[in-house]
Chain A
């Protein structure tokens, strides 16, 4: 083991002194340090996260994005990029959302900004997936339809297409799913 020599400005000899005891046994207070939950003062600071914590439930606006540390978490860039592109695709120009239908092996993507109101959207979906959606009524949703159009909103909840005003729908819809009528019973305002 190469000796470093006497103390100098680069090397603090005491710091290198290794003894049999566990770290901090001479100092005391080590036990307390273990219980400290987060940031320690001798650590290099990394960007703090600032998240609004709502006591009364969800807010209208999305929480501010957490500050990102370079190269963290340690996921290969290639992998991150591959998962990232999917997110970006639905948040970019136009409002592209994926549409899936139960039982169909393929997904489609549509641009919601192209449509002005629900009937146009419904017509497109019916043509694309070859089904018929029947009439929407506020209380009972798409009663007696074999297939029911639903969507996932920004909060992660699954809603019936048509429940909220069109503009609100376009701004909150993350993806569409054409569910089997039997599965959609739990959704809708009336229930």
Chain B
């Protein structure tokens, strides 16, 4: 039989195959394609423009560039997730500079860079701004290490900049004139988000920039933009789709408020609203004219707006798909959301009083969660902070919402049982994993025994990320998960009694995962050393923040039964990293 007939695709010219590959965006699919044959591997390599690297230490910049020389868009993640909660020392790592340096030297035509939990310096930003002529988009999430001077370089030198999106970064604000650095010729901005900057900005520079950026769709300003400033901005950009509002604390006349409302009415394309970090409740009312159009609403920083005002507003947002809110909305408020927001897909309820200092009773409970599950049929992602929960509620939620992809429940008090029956919450979470067959991300909390992990291992077939805190009884718990969850990629555990037996039972498992984090568990130095010996393709990092050099040396020789404070291990093709600080030991 003619081979060309049997395997036609192999005989297409390369350009045709490449064109077909263009339709395949998912990096996982592309990884699979590259395994089919040598020729496909080659074609895929040269046609890959977007690369996602979930752990910047899994590979080196040089190897990345060798394999994908036509790279245009790069996503990099640095520090482990628990760095968000102060569990990782500041100097741990995740530096951007080596990447920019290598990309620049190789003259890669970089256009987009997305970073999460990386350490970025002004120097890197400057190098970035000068090295890539077609650079279009910079998105930084939870990064630190840079100042507004770095932003000035980006503004000044990136001629084709379309997107500058700064989300929740710690940026040293030099109160300089970085906004002025956008040249008059820069008119290509589509998205500008500087909500996390703490300092003053040059308002007139901002206004001129917005006025000349006729393609601007997304604008999120910081606290320094007062009410009438916002009005002027919205007046020159009625085409805005996404708006982040600043602070209304400065004095304003009633006429200013009326002008704001008039400007808002003209923004008929506005679909997404956020910010409101220091505003009186009444300010929200200025947005009533467009609230019916909103599909995304983030009021999770609006600590000043009282529950009843939140409820009044949200009930009119009938098209909401995404809602991030504080628990001051209360169960009653969630019931209103459940009856009004039938299109809701993602809900996050954050604690307004994380350390329970104010003894208020307006936080949310299992009642709100059940109401939402009953009222919102399209809900697939939830993050819910609450003070109490019951198995019955979770079982009901599981029945109502079998489509959860992400389910993260955080009961504020560790080890808290079902508040009615005093039992553990094993059955409740068990119901969730059994019902939600597509569940990819799960965070558990409350009183939990090994049993919940038996359920997770048995039912959570699609689970990719699991977060565990103050849960379980014995190593069996962790083993159920490692043995059962075939698609597990990230496992992070704190304050749970899992030890060496669980850690060492199946070393090969870690090759299928991106990373494992264990802190305040029962694993010992000896166990970690053995793991490192048996798995040379893993970086096994021990983090001991309080150790000085001498202390650590003594410990090593002394006692391998010493419990490890923080363990972070991850697969890598490039071996031990060279940039680890003294508090990190790589075994």
The answer on a CB contact under 8 Å between B423 and A34 is yes
A113 to B397, CA, bound (A): 51
A72 to B254, CA, bound (A): 43
Residue of A70, A82, A103 touching B277 (CB-CB under 8 A):
A82
Given A10-B500, A16-B475, A108 contacting B251 (CB threshold 8 A)? yes
Residue of B86, B277, B500, B508 touching A71 (CB-CB under 8 A):
B86
Contacts of B277 in A (CB 8 A): 82
A6 within 8 A of B: no
The answer on a CB contact under 8 Å between A104 and B303 is no
Question: Quick one: CB contact mask for B323-344 with A, threshold 8 Å, 1 for yes?
Answer: 0000000000000000000000
Question: Within A28-43, which residues are at the interface with B (CB < 8 Å)?
Answer: 33-40, 42-43
The answer on a CB contact under 8 Å between B301 and A83 is yes
A119 within 8 A of B: no
The answer on a CB contact under 8 Å between B497 and A44 is yes
**What distance in Å separates the Cβ of B581 from its nearest Cβ neighbour in chain A?**
19
Q: Count residues of chain A with CB under 8 A from any CB of chain B.
A: 55
The answer on a CB contact under 8 Å between B505 and A76 is no
A107 to B504, CA, bound (A): 58
Interface size class of B (residues with CB under 8 A): 35 or more
Contacts of A26 in B (CB 8 A): none
A18 to B278, CA, bound (A): 54
Q: Interface-forming stretch among A60-68, A165-173, A182-190?
A: A60-68
Question: Quick one: CB contact mask for A151-168 with B, threshold 8 Å, 1 for yes?
Answer: 000001000000000000
Q: Interface-forming stretch among B63-71, B265-273, B522-530?
A: B522-530
Q: Which residue of B lies closest to A100 (CB)?
A: B280
The answer on a CB contact under 8 Å between A106 and B248 is yes
A77 within 8 A of B: yes
The answer on a CB contact under 8 Å between A42 and B86 is no
The answer on a CB contact under 8 Å between B355 and A86 is no
The answer on a CB contact under 8 Å between A77 and B84 is yes
Residue of A42, A66, A78 touching B357 (CB-CB under 8 A):
A66
The answer on a CB contact under 8 Å between A105 and B415 is no
**What distance in Å separates the Cβ of A48 from its nearest Cβ neighbour in chain B?**
11
Q: Interface-forming stretch among B99-107, B152-160, B447-455?
A: B447-455
The answer on a CB contact under 8 Å between B417 and A38 is yes
Question: Within B243-298, which residues are at the interface with A (CB < 8 Å)?
Answer: 248-252, 254, 256-257, 277-283, 286
Contacts of A100 in B (CB 8 A): 280-281
The answer on a CB contact under 8 Å between B479 and A18 is yes
Contacts of A123 in B (CB 8 A): none
Contacts of B527 in A (CB 8 A): 10-11
The answer on a CB contact under 8 Å between A78 and B170 is yes
Contacts of B87 in A (CB 8 A): 70-71
Residue of B350, B504, B520 touching A11 (CB-CB under 8 A):
B504
Residue of A35, A36, A72, A76 touching B414 (CB-CB under 8 A):
A72
Question: Within A66-117, which residues are at the interface with B (CB < 8 Å)?
Answer: 66, 68-80, 82-83, 86-87, 98, 100, 103-109
**What distance in Å separates the Cβ of A160 from its nearest Cβ neighbour in chain B?**
19
A38 to B500, CA, bound (A): 26
Contacts of B447 in A (CB 8 A): 37-38
A132 within 8 A of B: no
Contacts of A74 in B (CB 8 A): 84-85, 410, 443, 467, 469
Contacts of B234 in A (CB 8 A): none
Give the dominant DSSP class at A's interface. loop
B352 within 8 A of A: yes
Chain A CB within 10 Å, residue with most, of B85, B251, B360: B85
Contacts of A104 in B (CB 8 A): 280, 282
The answer on a CB contact under 8 Å between A34 and B424 is yes
Question: Quick one: CB contact mask for B428-447 with A, threshold 8 Å, 1 for yes?
Answer: 00000000000000010001
B476 within 8 A of A: yes
The answer on a CB contact under 8 Å between A156 and B451 is no
**What distance in Å separates the Cβ of B364 from its nearest Cβ neighbour in chain A?**
14
A87 to B357, CA, bound (A): 11
The answer on a CB contact under 8 Å between A18 and B476 is yes
**What distance in Å separates the Cβ of A96 from its nearest Cβ neighbour in chain B?**
12
B534 within 8 A of A: yes
Contacts of B300 in A (CB 8 A): 79
Question: Within A1-54, which residues are at the interface with B (CB < 8 Å)?
Answer: 1-2, 4, 9-13, 15-16, 18, 22-23, 33-40, 42-44, 46
The answer on a CB contact under 8 Å between B495 and A23 is no
Contacts of B91 in A (CB 8 A): none
B532 within 8 A of A: no
Given A15-B476, A43-B415, A73 contacting B354 (CB threshold 8 A)? yes
**What distance in Å separates the Cβ of A72 from its nearest Cβ neighbour in chain B?**
7
Contacts of A156 in B (CB 8 A): 358, 360
B142 within 8 A of A: yes
B123 within 8 A of A: no
Question: Quick one: CB contact mask for B372-385 with A, threshold 8 Å, 1 for yes?
Answer: 00000000000001
The answer on a CB contact under 8 Å between A23 and B451 is yes
The answer on a CB contact under 8 Å between A18 and B85 is no
**What distance in Å separates the Cβ of B389 from its nearest Cβ neighbour in chain A?**
14
Q: Which residue of A lies closest to B473 (CB)?
A: A42
B474 within 8 A of A: yes
Contacts of B283 in A (CB 8 A): 105
Question: Quick one: CB contact mask for B355-377 with A, threshold 8 Å, 1 for yes?
Answer: 11111100000000000000000
Contacts of B82 in A (CB 8 A): 71
The answer on a CB contact under 8 Å between A106 and B508 is no
**What distance in Å separates the Cβ of A129 from its nearest Cβ neighbour in chain B?**
10
**What distance in Å separates the Cβ of A23 from its nearest Cβ neighbour in chain B?**
4
Contacts of B31 in A (CB 8 A): none
The answer on a CB contact under 8 Å between A76 and B84 is yes
Contacts of B202 in A (CB 8 A): none
Given A65-B355, A82-B301, A104-B280, A76 contacting B454 (CB threshold 8 A)? no
Question: Quick one: CB contact mask for B476-512 with A, threshold 8 Å, 1 for yes?
Answer: 1001100100000000001101001110111110000
B94 within 8 A of A: no
Contacts of A42 in B (CB 8 A): 473, 497
The answer on a CB contact under 8 Å between B494 and A71 is yes
The answer on a CB contact under 8 Å between A23 and B450 is yes
Contacts of A22 in B (CB 8 A): 451, 454
Contacts of B86 in A (CB 8 A): 70-71, 77
B562 within 8 A of A: no
Q: 9 smallest A-B Cβ distances: which pairs?
A: A71-B85, A78-B168, A23-B450, A105-B257, A15-B501, A71-B87, A15-B475, A76-B84, A37-B422
Beyond the given A46-B495, A69-B414, A74-B85, could you list 16 further A-B residue pairs with CB under 8 A, ordered by the A residue number?
Answer: A1-B505, A2-B505, A10-B524, A11-B527, A15-B501, A23-B454, A23-B476, A66-B356, A73-B351, A74-B467, A75-B351, A78-B142, A78-B170, A83-B301, A83-B303, A105-B256
Ordered by A's residue number, 24 sampled pairs between the chains whose C-beta atoms are within 8 Å are A10-B526, A12-B475, A15-B474, A15-B476, A15-B502, A16-B502, A23-B474, A37-B417, A70-B87, A74-B85, A74-B469, A76-B85, A78-B170, A78-B196, A79-B168, A79-B301, A83-B303, A100-B281, A105-B227, A105-B256, A105-B280, A105-B282, A106-B280, A107-B249
